[in-house]
Amino acid sequence: MLNLALKKWRAKESSLGVWSNLPDIHMAEMLSRIDVDWICFDLQHGLMDYSDLTRLLPAITGVPTTPLVRVAANQPDQIGKALDAGAQGVIVPMVNTAEDAERAVAACRYPPMGSRSCGPMRDAMLEGPGYLATANEQVACLVMIETEEGLRNLDAIAAVEGVDGLFVGPMDLCYGLGLAPGDFANPAFAEAIGNILKACETHGLASGIFGYNAEMAADSMQKGFTFASIGTDISFIRAGALQALNTASGGDASDAPKARGGY
Residues belonging to the active site = 45
Q: Taking the CB of residue 128, how many other CB atoms lie within 10 A of it?
A: 9
Cis peptide before 112 (omega within 30 of 0): yes
- Return all residues near 202 (Cβ < 8 A) that are at least 6 apart: 155, 158
Adjacent-strand bridge partners of 18: 39
Strand ranges in 155-247 using DSSP code E only, listed in sequence order: 165-168, 206-209, 227-232
Q: How many residues does the chain have?
A: 263
Collapsing DSSP to helix, strand or coil, 121 comes out as helix
d(CA 108, CA 142): 10
Alpha-carbon Rg of the chain, whole angstroms?
A: 18
Task: Give the torsion sign (CA, 234, 240, 244, 245).
Answer: positive
